[in-house]
Chains A and B, each alone.
Chain A
């Protein structure tokens, strides 16, 4: 694989970071401000997409910014794995931006400029993580993402938001400084480099015990991935406005966590090393706990967003599980699930937001009969739920199918059973919502005036729901990227 130096990755990262400036300057002119947001979102997607053909052709791009620490520059690299993630994130950002406009304006939220500016910074950091060429750069963007999302989580500025913000930072910053940073430094000390290299950089450099320790530190350090016991921030962060929950806590932040772990497994340790040490299997059993427990907890949640949050916690571990299986299909399924889950979960969150905008209802028990008043929203919700459960004809089926094959390839029957159980649990916590919405009788005294949410909310959630279907029929681009990433 040859990498050509290019400014495009830098532009793709920076466009939204610099975009915060015009956004903040147009504080008093909301229409102009939102035009900037949409313009930047589309521009970012086009920049990312413009690099797709050469990545698919086996090429790639690099850009080195500064040689800060000898041998460890702040550098960007566009490879298939990063491309895959950046493509998903930048596309879904367009949807979320449009949705944010409808949501924030309808609810007449305060501090919208701060909201849009922080959002732009957060997506910059997300693409930065995707395109990082080494661990130092990734850590840098990881932290920028943690800090830029703090004002979004605490947007409401009430006591609950403050508590959640505190919890959010404690988990995210505490683990990244306490575990990930030392892991990076130990890695650098024993390997002498931090570059992401296909096949890993740690093989033969340290004892199995030390390698195990480093792996533990990394898995614990990237707490954005929501692996138990470091998942507590995610349900708490649901206090944020719904577009934030949908994009950041369905796509960007949590996927950055998982993506970081995948990077470490594939490009720092390397599948061969982990396979020889049997650490992959141990890790996959470890995340199985999260998969099961999170699904069980999700069953008990009446607050729709919290149920979605626990569902996310469980689904994120699918990704780690697949990659940790270290078999071709397992890794394919795991990485693919980044995209499939993103499309499905963002649809669900956007629906939850649309329901709140239209009816101010947060709890599932209040949603009896609501589907008849909001058929489009709940139709999209249905599609999203099916995708997460993993049923055809939705994208989620492809990734789960690969995961199941991966478990068989790895000869891990218990994992196969856990995957199937979890799918049943997914169905058990999603389908009742849809049943209630369409078939249950509304409680007496419910206002019949509820209509669909504004068009700015409705279009994005339809796009993502249809996206989930399209991904089932045309997963080629993503599949090819994943194959390229894994075959390396």
Chain B
């Protein structure tokens, strides 16, 4: 344990404080919007990379806000995993924002500052979630992120307010469940601090109350992360949300919630309790995740719109991580945590590509994707790389997390989960190659040809640079992360429980 510094607080505070400044200054001049969104996020990104370096060299630490000692005060935990998550969140948010800025300008002229106020608070909330070591604060921060995202989704066009309302209902149920779980725990242990609760839980006898607490907390989080079949709110909410908001939601929201599930299992209820006191529950969850993967992948196959298809892929990926972690062995857990990072980056890549395509074609329904390899070669190259990662083609990062997940499934002899993972890879391949095919065979509609001249290469019409640059960067990151899997796994291994 190293001595605490305040760096993580600055990382957290930067977007939070600027959100309010932006709200005020943005009313005076729209010119403030760009520096006041990119500035704090860039600051947080650099800060979290420094923090990660510090944690890796000197070890993690716990921080007590206001110097109130736990279990009474608010505790923040900075360990290798949460530091890594901070890098992920700030990095992804920064990249997404570069592309989101022109979108917000286009879709919400005049209210950019309002949009980005919510947006920055949401990012601050996500950062708080990965740092907190207090079960009740976790609830509060979860609601902060949820409420801001309800607002952001409702800013979308058409049926977006309805989708947001649907999300509010489901999200509130999820949050209530989690809170009920914490309530039970509080009755049982008299504490809200995670480490404190974990220490007391170990001494408690098995009881229905504890099991109820756990069940409530878990189901609550599952709703929030859209684990199949609790996913109903997600496809509409994410595909109807403003494009700029979708870029942030898709890579981060489900992944951070999965991180929370992992924290709750590792640091609150302890893995001994979760996995080994109810073995049937453990394998039951893995099976449920496997079924979820199969169903979500099949639903994705039925979509005729690129963004909606991606949202169903997102739901299938949630199953990967939940099932992988519940395999309850080192390989599966490593795979699940690794997949949090990989999935965030590859989802970002695909959503950025979708946004770039939409900037030229307007709609993302499949008919509009024809001939894109000719008109948007760079965008499609990046999309292809992202798609390969989703399918799990080496050496993109998606392959390596899948490798660990498969290995975990073999080790745990969970053949159903193994089959589901392979099935999903194949379905992803079918789905994405269908898109490649559409984008590759431009001159398909013989009847639409005005003449022979349309047969020749149409002019290249790439997306604007602010959308293209983050996309290319993210696509390159897929390869870099893939080849850097070794070091990443070593960091992840540090936080895994040692008893495996």
Interface residues of A (CB under 8 A from B): 66-70, 74, 136, 139-140, 143-144, 147, 151, 154, 157, 162, 165-166, 169-170, 173-174, 177-178, 181-182, 185-186, 188-189
Complex CA gap A485/B443 in Å reads: 49
A188 vs B429: C-alpha distance in the bound complex, in angstroms? 24
Is B395 a contact partner of A188 (Cβ separation < 8 A)? Answer: no
* Known pairs A67-B486, A70-B486, A147-B388; A177 contacts B426 (CB<8 A): yes
Which residues in chain B, 435-470, are within 8 Å of chain A measured between CB atoms? 437, 440-441, 443
A68 close to B410 (CB less than 8 A): no
12 cross-chain CB contacts under 8 A = A66-B483, A68-B482, A69-B486, A139-B394, A140-B395, A147-B393, A151-B440, A165-B437, A170-B430, A177-B392, A185-B403, A189-B410
**A344 vs B462: C-alpha distance when bound (angstroms):** 46
A189, B486: Cβ atoms under 8 Å? no
Closest residue of A by beta carbon distance from B490: A70
Which among B391, B393, B422 has the highest number of chain A CB atoms within 10 Å?
B393
| Chain B residues near A143 (CB-CB < 8 A) | 393-394
- The CA-CA distance from A177 to B483 in the complex, in Å, is 20
| Residue numbers in B under 8 Å from A136 (CB-CB) | 394
> Is B275 among interface residues, defined by CB-CB distance under 8 A?
no
Q: Known contacts A162-B441, A177-B429; is A188 also within 8 Å of B407 by CB?
A: yes
B406 contacts chain A at the CB level, 8 A cutoff:
yes
Determine how close the nearest CB of chain A comes to the CB of B479; give it in whole angstroms.
11
Q: Which of B45-87 contact A (CB under 8 A)?
A: none
Contact between B429 and A185, CB atoms less than 8 A apart: no
Within 8 A of A (CB), among B390-413: 391-395, 400, 403-404, 406-407, 410-411
Residue B418, interface by CB 8 Å: yes
Q: Of A70, A162, A188, which one neighbours B489 at CB under 8 angstroms?
A: A70
B388 surroundings in chain A (CB, below 8 A): 147
The 8 Å CB contact of B441, one of A147, A157, A170, is A157
CB contact under 8 A between A154 and B429, given known A147-B393, A186-B410: no
Chain A nearest Cβ from B454, distance in angstroms: 14
Q: Are B422 and A181 in contact (CB under 8 A)?
A: yes
Q: How far is the CB of B28 from chain A (nearest CB, A)?
A: 49
Interface size on B (CB < 8 Å)?
Answer: 29
B20 at the interface (CB under 8 A from A): no
With contact pairs A177-B425, A189-B407 given, residues A68 and B392 touching in the complex (Cβ less than 8 Å): no
A185: chain B residues at CB < 8 Å are 403, 406-407, 410
Cβ–Cβ < 8 Å partners of A166 in chain B: 433, 437
Nearest Cβ distance between residue B403 and chain A, in whole angstroms?
7
A182 B440 Cβ-Cβ under 8 A: no
Contacts of A68 in B (CB 8 A): 395, 400, 482-483, 485-486
Q: Is the interface of B mostly helix, strand, loop or mixed?
A: helix
A68-B395, A68-B400, A170-B430 are known contacts; what are 19 more A-B pairs with Cβ within 8 Å? A66-B483, A68-B486, A69-B400, A69-B403, A69-B404, A69-B489, A140-B395, A143-B393, A144-B393, A147-B393, A154-B441, A157-B440, A173-B391, A174-B426, A177-B392, A177-B425, A182-B406, A185-B406, A189-B411
A181 and B440 contact, Cβ closer than 8 Å, known pairs A169-B429, A173-B429: no
**Cα distance A188–B408 in the bound complex, in angstroms:** 11
**Least CB distance, A153 to chain B, in whole angstroms:** 12
Residues of B within 8 A of A (CB): 388, 391-395, 400, 403-404, 406-407, 410-411, 418, 422, 425-426, 429-430, 433, 437, 440-441, 443, 482-483, 485-486, 489
Q: A70-B489, A140-B394, A185-B410 are in contact. Are A178 and B426 (CB under 8 A)?
A: yes
Q: What residues of chain B lie closer than 8 Å to A181, measured between beta carbons?
A: 406, 422
Cα distance A189–B404 when bound, in Å?
Answer: 11
Q: Is the CB of B426 within 8 A of A162?
A: no
What A residues does B407 contact at CB under 8 A? 185, 188-189
How distant is the Cα of A451 from the Cα of B83 in the complex, in angstroms? 72
Nearest CB to that of B425 among chain A residues? A177
Majority DSSP secondary structure for residues of A touching B: helix
Of all chain B residues, which has the CB nearest A170? B430
Tell me the bound Cα distance from A186 to B412 in angstroms: 12
Contacts of B485 in A (CB 8 A): 68-69
Q: How far is the CB of A241 from chain B (nearest CB, A)?
A: 16
Please indicate the chain B residues that have their CB under 8 angstroms from the CB of A178 in the complex.
422, 426
Q: Per a CB cutoff under 8 Å, which of A144, A151, A182 touches B422? A: A182
Interchain CA distance A174-B427 in the complex, whole Å: 9
Chain A residue with Cβ nearest B409: A185
Q: Which residue of A lies closest to B489 (CB)?
A: A70
Provide the bound-state CA to CA distance between A157 and B394, in Å.
27
Q: Which residues of A contact B433 (CB under 8 A)?
A: 166, 169
Nearest CB of chain B from residue A309's CB, rounded to whole Å: 23
CA distance A181 to B403 in the complex (A): 9
A177 to B394, CA, bound (A): 11
Instruction: With both chains docked as a complex, state the minimum distance between the C-beta of A175 and any C-beta of chain B, in angstroms.
Output: 10
Instruction: Tell me which residues across on chain B come within 8 A of A177, comparing CB atoms.
Output: 391-392, 422, 425-426, 429
Chain B nearest Cβ from A122, distance in angstroms: 15
How many angstroms between the C-alpha atoms of A169 and B393 in the bound complex? 13
CA of A174 to CA of B391, assembled, Å: 11
Tell me the nearest residue of chain A to B418, going by C-beta.
Answer: A182
- A151 to B485 Cα, complex, angstroms: 30
Query: From residue A163, how far is it (CB to closest CB) to chain B in Å?
Result: 10
- Tell whether, in the assembled complex, residue B395 and residue A74 are in contact, meaning their CB atoms are under 8 Å apart: yes
A157 to B437, CA, bound (A): 10
Q: Using Cβ atoms and an 8 Å threshold, which residues of chain A touch B395?
A: 68, 74, 140
CB distance from B78 to the nearest CB of A (A): 26
Distance of A169 Cα from B394 Cα, bound (Å): 16
How many angstroms between the C-alpha atoms of A34 and B111 in the bound complex? 55
Residues of A within 8 Å of B411, CB to CB, are 189
State the CA gap A140–B485 with chains docked (Å).
Answer: 15
Closest chain B residue, CB of each to CB of A189: B410
CB distance from A7 to the nearest CB of B (A): 18
In the complex, chain B residues whose CB is within 8 Å of the CB of A182: 406, 410, 418, 422
A169 to chain B, nearest CB (A): 6
10 closest A-B pairs by CB:
A140-B394, A185-B406, A189-B410, A67-B486, A68-B485, A177-B425, A66-B483, A143-B393, A185-B407, A173-B429
How many Å lie between the Cα of A157 and that of B440 in the bound state?
Answer: 8
Please give, as numbers and ranges, the residues of chain B lying within 8 Å of A169 by CB-CB distance: 429, 433
Taken together as a complex, chains A and B put the C-alpha atoms of A144 and B396 apart, in Å, by 11
Contacts of B426 in A (CB 8 A): 173-174, 177-178
- The interface residues of chain B lying within 8 Å CB-to-CB of A165 are 437
Whole-angstrom CA separation of A189 from B410 in the bound complex = 7
CB distance from A124 to the nearest CB of B (A): 13
- Taken together as a complex, chains A and B put the C-alpha atoms of A144 and B385 apart, in Å, by 12
Which A residues are CB-close (under 8 A) to B393?
143-144, 147
Contact partners of B392 in chain A: CB under 8 A: 177
Task: List the A side residues contacting B418 at CB < 8 Å.
Answer: 182
How far does the alpha carbon of A74 sit from the alpha carbon of B429 in the complex, in Å? 24
Q: How far is the CA of A309 from the CA of B406 in the complex (A)?
A: 35
What is the bound-complex CA distance between A206 and B443, given in angstroms? Answer: 54
Q: Which residues of B contact A173 (CB under 8 A)?
A: 391, 426, 429
Q: Which residues of B contact A189 (CB under 8 A)?
A: 407, 410-411
Q: Taking CB as reference atom, which chain B residue is nearest A186?
A: B410
- Bound-state CA distance A182–B393 (Å) is 14
